[in-house]
Amino acid sequence: MGKDLIIVESPAKVKTIKKFLGGRYMVQASIGHICDLPTREIGVDENHDFTPHYEIIKGKEKVVHDLREAAAKADTVYLAPDPDREGEAIAWHIARVIGDRAKNIKRIQFNEITAKAVKAALEHPREINTHLFDAQQARRVLDRLVGYKISPLLWKTVKRGISAGRVQSVALRLIVEREEERLAFVPEEFWTFRALLAGSVPPPFKAELVKIETGFAKKLKALAPAKSDKNSGRKILISCKAAADALEEAMTGQPFTVSQVEEKERARNPLPPFTTSTLQQSANQRLGFTSRRTMSTAQRLYEGIDLGERGTTALITYMRTDSVRIAEEAKKAAAAFIEERFGKDFLAPGGKGRAFRGKSTAQDAHEAIRPVDVRLTPQEVKEHLTPEQFRLYGLIWSRFVASQMAAAVFHDTAVTLNCGPGQWKAKGERLLFPGFLAVLPRSAEEEEDVLPPLQEGDVATLQKLDKEQKFTQPAPRYTEASLVRELEERGIGRPSTYAAIISTIEDREYVRLEDKHFVPTDLGRVVCSQLRDHFARLMDVGFTAGMESDLDKVADGELGWVNLMKDFAADFNPTLEAAAKAMTPVKEGLETGVICPECGRPMVVKFGKSGEFLACTGYPDCRCTTNFTRDEKGRIQTQERPKEEYEKVGTCPKCGGDVVLKKSRTGSRFLSCTNYPKCDYTAPFSTGVTCPACGKGQLVEKSSKRGKIFYSCNRYPDCDFAVWDWPVAEACPLCGSPVLVIKNTRGRGQRIACPNPKCRYSRTLDEQPGE
């Protein structure tokens, strides 16, 4: 009898699963998707029910060959990609390419990579869920049609090489419209009053003005200038300095008399364990992680970490979920741990753990994100984790354990005081029982503020009075955390797509991060404007949320994916035709009001390969360009370029002038003639290493849009060979890689190494090959 074969997505899972299944099973990885739509054509037959034309992803040919060979030797093939729509699609494509070699194909899934979960899945295999696959396929085809049909319109009217996306463009719209709202905002003046008071016994306490007697308030209003109707909605008590001075004068010498004291106990319950979106939000707020970093780190914790004597062990459950459900077994394990570590008083009511109710739109196929084994505390596994893995695991572990603990109990005190025409409030709290805060301590901002004993009729002494002028503020720009929260609340995308959405609009340079907040670039504004003007329905938040709901119906078998596509195309295609005729070109640049310092003509914003810049409209007579930034009001601030001294490296082959070494906007070096603009000779900076892939080109220095240097063949796109580090014209003695590279390593300096991630060849710069 032959072995059965289990096919998972990642090599990391292979190690984890092999550890506890032993030699009875072969375990191989597909390394993600093996098939997709073609890259150089739309790949969807719209005339025949939107039939997609899938092909093997370039570079995956050997993976597919190995899977087919292994499938032919197996009695049963168990397809075990991740338990979601993408995983179901991977399983469907694998089944298609191994179908003629495999004797029996089954689908299994598990929420955590443990011996118990995997063995249970093997005992209860199922067929591939075609409804889930159809939902993924519909999303893929929708995104392909939108991207491949709208992007060429943007190439013609804005800039070549940019693109549009069905969901990403709506996320961009949220950021752009928040910025428009901020620019249109009219701040309004207001004044705050705070008092430091002392009772008959310490400690002193703070009180804030919250109300003004009606008659006096009317007098203050008469002193204030007329206000606009565009304020933030904040209730303004004192709106100008004259009113603030009048109120201060009316209170001067008046006693602060306690009119009311309210005391009560308050219980604060823990939050539910993490879903994908709440994990991304919390990791961004507390750890400073991007959504992409959070998800890639969580992926490793889910797939398994080498814990020394324990071997490769999965630490968390599946990290793509919008459910807050917890398995009963996990609740019991948490309760036992909490009682042992903290005592019975710290258990949730009833001692059986807490259950949480999720949103009505949540997919409940998976549990919330939690530790696989609650007894593996962050400190216990710290030595085996990278710093970011340790911090994220600590966040997940603490949130889960806290969710199963007793409420924290506080003693709250609220004191009302009267002084002249003003009413003041002072609040204090005292922690009576920490409950879940034993594992999830409060931040410094949340520390308790204790009030002294106070009773009605007591008079407090004023120690200090602070009045401060302030101005209403516009809604803040989105951070990654607040954008994820907004996307989730509006039903745009799904938790598993948020990281990709945010990464895409950043990679396309439609937005940039400024002090951890998203600011739309001029390119992002233009793209948003073009799409908003000509694809109103596609850019509508409600329509995009409705499409997500329809995709859920496809996944549930309530709606056919082809019918969904037909309904979409019926509106999309006519809109596309109209946009092709009406979309206004902006390639000549955006007006700025800035005057060229060299010729006095207007300057415009242009979109180049290396980003946005100001250019003179007098080109080619005037070639003046400059970088720029925008201030808080969106006004352009030009940036003078520093004077550079260039290194002469040769003679120009076109005009005989000097050739010097320069740097592009994104950091890569290139050669240029000093007689520019009369002579336009330029050439990339060559490493002198012949391209090992085609044998014809040279490896030259390039830089990505984000400024990362790499080295690629100068015959691109005919040859797409590239490496990240400086190449060395020498084959690897271990794996045969055609080139080696010079790497900067931590603690060991520069070393010659193999660029193949599966090969560990490395030597010092001075060491000769074979030593």
Closest by Cα among 641, 699, 227 to 471: 227
Closest by Cα among 749, 752, 771 to 763: 752
Give yes or no for a contact between 623 and 616, defined as CB atoms under 8 angstroms apart: yes
Taking the CA atoms of 520, 522, 528 and 532 in sequence, report the sign of the dihedral they define.
positive
CA-CA distance, 159 to 606, in Å (whole number)? 9
Selected catalytic residue, list 54, 78, 318, 498? 318
C-alpha dist (Å) from residue 385 to 286, 293, 308, 469, 693: 19, 15, 11, 49, 37
CA-CA distance, 498 to 487, in Å (whole number)? 8
Taking the CA atoms of 250, 253, 256 and 257 in sequence, report the sign of the dihedral they define.
negative
Closest by Cα among 173, 224, 208, 235 to 537: 173
Taking the CA atoms of 572, 573, 575 and 576 in sequence, report the sign of the dihedral they define.
positive
Closest by Cα among 408, 273, 407 to 334: 273
Q: Count the alpha carbons within 13 Å of 606 in the hemisphere toward its beta carbon.
A: 17
Kind and range of the H or E run holding 92: helix 85-98
- In the DSSP assignment, the letter for residue 654 is T
Residues 6+ apart with CB under 8 A from 154: 162, 163, 164, 527, 530
The answer to whether residue 318 is catalytic is yes
Q: Counting runs of H as helices and runs of E as strands, what totals does the chain give?
A: 18, 35
Q: How many residues does the chain have?
A: 771
Give yes or no for a contact between 460 and 417, defined as CB atoms under 8 angstroms apart: yes
Which residues are part of the catalytic machinery? 318
